[in-house]
């Protein structure tokens, strides 16, 4: 089928950009304000974050190929969408991510090896949600959007100034839960940002299979204040996220951002994108690479790009070496842990099942197994 949008509805919401593909600054009367205070040092930090993240992603893919991880969902190409948005949040804003938001969690201080431990199969989640204000990563497509809506309702009901942020992809916009979440957030005017990374593909399905109009236009129909930004432009993503969160914090209701980006890698390490998309498409998007874009801009403003790149590279090398060492040395959880935390309170049948199996295993002790 065609991957082109059919013009059944006017494309009402324009795609905003602050850096064009050549890395030149494009004025935007609305968004300029939100990047005005960014210093060259902030831009260098963005660069470092994206370079480190890309390296973490590459290392994880390699670790999967070497049997150290069961699976990995690469984020290659989505570095600006993730870093730009999360760096615009406050630490008290509560994030509800999908399984691909490695950059969001890492930027909030989650260790790379803790992130990867989940993909190794060593544990079911890699962080304490209440410590980093990020919910457990969600694998069922779109389910977390409702959790963000509910969290946002709670903020509204108890008068907090935080926000709730749901991350999801273009595929998730077809899910009932995402649509219900927008209804709930709009009904209660809850401070929720729905952040959609439209990376063009849901495994093998092009975005046109999910939506015949721009995703942002649909969100607008729910009564959400909506932005559509170039998701490979870290400044535009950062600015739009700032704008959306300010809107939420000002009590003006929920918001939606469609960050138009591209999944340059596979859906997961078990996927083969050559079966469903052309190399030429990938090449087209490679020219829009989010890291290259920022590097070009740093050149445009006359920054000492080489030293920033060197610093970023050093940080990436350090993380990769440390990550590899941690993953290859990571012990398996104990068998008893398999039975832990099914319930928060005492639960007799669970206790019996655990004891029975542990006794069974104990019967083999000394058998040399």
Residue 271 token pair: 């996927």
Among the listed residues 263, 293, 297, 308, the single catalytic one is: 263
Residue 297 token pair: 């801009």
Site string for other proteins, 22-61 (x = CB under 8 A): ----------------------------------------
Q: Which is nearer to other proteins, 344 or 362 (CB)?
A: 344
Indicate which single residue of 7, 283, 348, 365 sits in contact with other proteins (rule: CB under 8 A): 348
Q: Which is nearer to other proteins, 136 or 208 (CB)?
A: 136
Q: Does 321 bind other proteins (CB under 8 A)?
A: no
Question: Residue 2: exposed, middle, or buried by beta-carbon count in 10 A (0-12, 13-18, 19+)?
Answer: exposed
Q: List the alpha helices (DSSP H) in the chain.
A: 32-35, 40-65, 79-86, 102-107, 112-120, 129-132, 143-157, 176-187, 207-210, 215-221, 234-249, 279-286, 290-300, 305-328, 348-362
Q: Residue holding tokens 């992809």?
A: 169
Q: Does 276 bind other proteins (CB under 8 A)?
A: no
> DSSP states of 20-79 as a string?
-TTS-B---TTTHHHHTT--HHHHHHHHHHHHHHHHHHHHHHHHHHTTSSS-----TT-H
Q: 79-86 and 40-65 are packed helices; what angle lies between their axes, rounded to 10 degrees?
A: 130
Among the listed residues 55, 267, 293, 324, the single catalytic one is: 267
Q: Which is nearer to other proteins, 146 or 291 (CB)?
A: 146
Q: Which is nearer to other proteins, 50 or 166 (CB)?
A: 166
Q: Does 150 bind other proteins (CB under 8 A)?
A: yes
- Count of residues that interact with other proteins, criterion CB under 8 A: 45
Which H/E stretch holds residue 195? strand 192-198
Q: What is the CA radius of gyration of the chain?
A: 22
Q: How far apart are CA 74 and CA 60, in angstroms?
A: 8
Q: Is 263 tagged catalytic?
A: yes
Indicate which single residue of 14, 70, 109, 176 sits in contact with other proteins (rule: CB under 8 A): 176
Q: Which is nearer to other proteins, 143 or 269 (CB)?
A: 143
Indicate which single residue of 3, 252, 343, 358 sits in contact with other proteins (rule: CB under 8 A): 343
Q: Does 10 bind other proteins (CB under 8 A)?
A: no
Please state the closest distance from residue 259 (CB atom) to other proteins, in A: 22
Q: Is 167 tagged catalytic?
A: no
The catalytic residues are 263, 267, 276
Site of interaction with other proteins (CB under 8 A): 94, 96, 123-125, 128-131, 135-136, 140, 143, 145-155, 157-158, 164, 176-177, 180-181, 183-184, 187, 340-350
């Amino acid at each position: 089928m065609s991957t082109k949008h059919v013009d059944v509805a006017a494309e009402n919401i324009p795609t905003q950009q602050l850096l064009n593909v050549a890395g030149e600054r494009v004025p935007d009367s609305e968004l300029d304000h939100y990047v005005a205070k960014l210093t060259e040092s902030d831009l260098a930090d963005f660069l470092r974050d994206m370079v480190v993240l890309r390296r973490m992603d590459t290392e994880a893919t390699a670790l999967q190929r070497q049997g150290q991880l069961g699976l990995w969902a690469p984020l290659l190409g989505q570095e600006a969408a993730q870093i730009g948005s999360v760096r615009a949040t406050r630490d008290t804003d509560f994030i509800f991510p999908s399984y691909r938001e490695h950059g969001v969690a890492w930027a909030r201080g989650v260790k790379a090896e803790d992130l990867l431990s989940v993909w190794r199969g060593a544990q079911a989640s890699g962080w304490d949600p209440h410590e980093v204000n990020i919910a457990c990563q969600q694998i069922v497509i779109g389910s977390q959007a409702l959790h963000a809506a509910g969290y946002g309702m709670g903020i509204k009901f108890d008068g907090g100034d935080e926000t709730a942020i749901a991350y999801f992809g273009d595929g998730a916009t077809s899910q009932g839960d995402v649509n219900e979440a927008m209804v709930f957030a709009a009904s209660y005017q809850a401070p929720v940002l729905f952040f959609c990374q439209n990376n063009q593909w849901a495994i093998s399905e092009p975005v046109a299979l999910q939506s015949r109009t721009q995703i942002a236009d649909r969100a607008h129909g729910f009564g959400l204040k909506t932005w559509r930004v170039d998701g490979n432009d870290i400044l535009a993503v950062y600015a739009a996220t700032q704008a959306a969160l300010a809107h939420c914090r000002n009590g003006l209701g929920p918001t939606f951002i469609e960050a138009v980006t591209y999944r340059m890698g596979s859906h997961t390490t078990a996927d083969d994108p050559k079966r469903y998309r052309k190399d030429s498409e990938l090449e087209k998007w490679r020219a829009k690479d989010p890291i290259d874009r920022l590097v070009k801009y740093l050149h445009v403003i006359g920054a000492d790009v080489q030293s920033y790149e060197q610093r970023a590279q050093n940080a990436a090398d350090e993380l990769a070496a440390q990550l590899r060492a941690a993953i290859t040395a990571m012990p398996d959880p104990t068998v008893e842990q398999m039975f832990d935390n099914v319930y928060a309170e005492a639960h007799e049948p669970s206790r019996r099942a655990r004891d029975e199996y542990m006794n069974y295993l104990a019967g083999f002790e000394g058998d040399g197994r």
